[in-house]
Amino acid sequence: MSPRDARHPALSAIDPDLAALIGAEETLQAETLRLIPSENYVSAAVLEASGTVLQNKYSEGYPGRRYYEGQQNIDRIEALAVERARALFGVDHANVQPYSGSPANLAVYLAFARPGDTVMGMALPMGGHLTHGWGVSATGSWFRGVQYGVRADTGLIDYDEVRETALRERPKVIFCGGTALPRTIDFAAFSEIAKEAGAVLVADIAHIAGLVAGGAHPSPVPHVDVVSTTTHKTLRGPRGAMLMCREEHAKAIDKAVFPGLQGGPHNQTTAGIAVALREAAEVSFASYAHAVVANAKALAEALLARGFDLVSGGTDNHLVLMDLTSREVPGKVAAKALDRAGIVVNYNTVPYDPRKPFDPSGIRIGTPALTSRGLAPDHMPAVAAWIDRGVAAAASGDEAALAVIRKEVAELLTAYPAPGLPVA
Ligand code: DSN
């Protein structure tokens, strides 16, 4: 039996084609530098908990209040995940059932708004999320979405603009947070604005949940009504989500998730979340969270030293947004070339981007995954040099240069095995 078959013996026997594809993905994740800031490597323990017989169980409802029998263990697993979330984030109430970030945010709207109501969030091209009221999302067509952005000159949120818009539009719900924000979010400032406007304030911390848990980004908890987060980004859990809130909103949130929006929770995911939350409570996780930020800052500095333009001029968190306009390479061309060089990023709009979202000016990079492998600030000049060479090769169409980078990247990474993956 090959080492790959030994890792997935039943699957290899029943469905060798699929086993081979999973094996190929393991190799890809091991040999490439994964810089997509919303991705990470979960631990072997999270992987194990997420792939269990918990798959087999239906459990609509909440612990102690289910619509199916046989919940002796499921109730305890969900209660454990809830308790760990409450303790880690210091919240009154946690719901660990949302299937992912978008359904979690939909549940928030269901709890606090009615179709046609005004809701407010950061514009998608400015770094917000689709579900923060952007037009092409259900949240922007079922509700009247009004948006704020960042200043063109600084790339930073203009809190005066947020306040003016909120007081003019009087939204029911205001979302803060996003998917391409390299800077610290001032939750206290948002809280003052939401109070003045009479809005429910929601912090979507999907990207930074692990940084908040590890003390590397201020917590929104004292300032907001609801915290929404995915569990699979910096928090390093399985693909899922959580909603956390003050006690006064607990019933509305629970009712919105089930029966408002979802059926049975994915119990295997709940178990994986419970494990990730336990890991995130360890001292080593706080070191991880701070290392993610230290790596991102070092990478930003190294990129600036090479003349790259970064939105907002750098980063405070795990994420760097690069504007490639001055390099005369579209973001998509650069992202695809870097992929061939073994450096996995995503193309991304930059604020006030003159190009279209499917062919924008920027690329978005981040350090959660490489930090999980143990890479340190000392490595970041080399990473920046690979990106620089890769972008130059994208511009000149130099495939041979991309192949050389790919080899160098894989060589470095052999010394830094990724959590959860087989060691070659
Ligand atoms: N898709 C996520 C991201 O990459 O940021 C947001 O939902």
- Establish whether residue 101 lines the binding site of ligand 1, counting it when its CB lies within 6 angstroms of any ligand atom: yes
Q: What is the CA radius of gyration of the chain?
A: 22
Instruction: Specify the ligand 1 atom closest to the Cα of 180.
Output: 5
Q: Which of 18, 209, 243 is nearest to 110 (CA)?
A: 243
CB 276 within 8 A of CB 210: no
Nearest CA, atom 6, ligand 1: 179
Q: Map residue 281 onto helix, strand or coil.
A: coil
Could you tell me the sign of the dihedral formed by the alpha carbons of 340, 342, 343, 348, in that order?
positive
Residue 422 pLDDT: 85
DSSP assignment letter at 183: S
DSSP sequence for 48-117: HHHSSGGGG----EETTEESSS--HHHHHHHHHHHHHHHHHHT-SEEE---SSHHHHHHHHHHHH--TT-
What's the CA gap between 182 and 299, in Å, rounded?
A: 13
What's the CA gap between 187 and 174, in Å, rounded?
A: 12
Instruction: Specify the ligand 1 atom closest to the Cα of 130.
Output: 7
Residue 118: what are its φ and ψ, rounded to 5°?
-85, 135
Q: Measured in angstroms, how far is the CA atom of residue 38 from the centroid of ligand 1?
A: 6
- In testing the pocket of ligand 1, which one of 39, 122, 181, 207 has its CB within 8 Å of the most ligand atoms? 207
Catalytic residues: 58, 60, 204, 230, 233, 239
Residue 2 pLDDT: 77
pTM: 0.97
Q: Measured in angstroms, how far is the CA atom of residue 203 from the centroid of ligand 1?
A: 15
Q: Measured in angstroms, how far is the CA atom of residue 178 from the centroid of ligand 1?
A: 9
Residue 424 pLDDT: 64
What's the CA gap between 354 and 116, in Å, rounded?
A: 31
Nearest CA, atom 3, ligand 1: 38
CA distances from 98 to 4, 12, 81, 348 (A): 33, 32, 13, 26
- Establish whether residue 179 lines the binding site of ligand 1, counting it when its CB lies within 6 angstroms of any ligand atom: yes
Q: Measured in angstroms, how far is the CA atom of residue 413 from the centroid of ligand 1?
A: 25
Q: Measured in angstroms, how far is the CA atom of residue 319 from the centroid of ligand 1?
A: 12
Nearest CA, atom 4, ligand 1: 38
Q: Look up residue 82 and give its two tokens.
A: 């809830």
Instruction: Specify the ligand 1 atom closest to the Cα of 207.
Output: 5
- The segments of the chain whose pLDDT lies below 50 read none
- Establish whether residue 38 lines the binding site of ligand 1, counting it when its CB lies within 6 angstroms of any ligand atom: yes
Q: Look up residue 281 and give its two tokens.
A: 């409570």
Encode pLDDT of 305-344 as tens digits.
Answer: 999 999 999 999 999 999 999 999 999 999 999 999 999 9
**Ordered domains of the chain (ranges, CATH):** 49-280 (3.40.640.10), 291-413 (3.90.1150.10)
What's the CA gap between 311 and 333, in Å, rounded?
A: 19
Averaged pLDDT of the chain: 97
What's the CA gap between 376 and 372, in Å, rounded?
A: 10
Pure H helices in 143-263: 159-169, 187-197, 209-213, 247-255
Encode pLDDT of 19-73 as tens digits.
Answer: 999 999 999 999 999 999 999 999 999 999 999 999 999 999 999 999 999 999 9
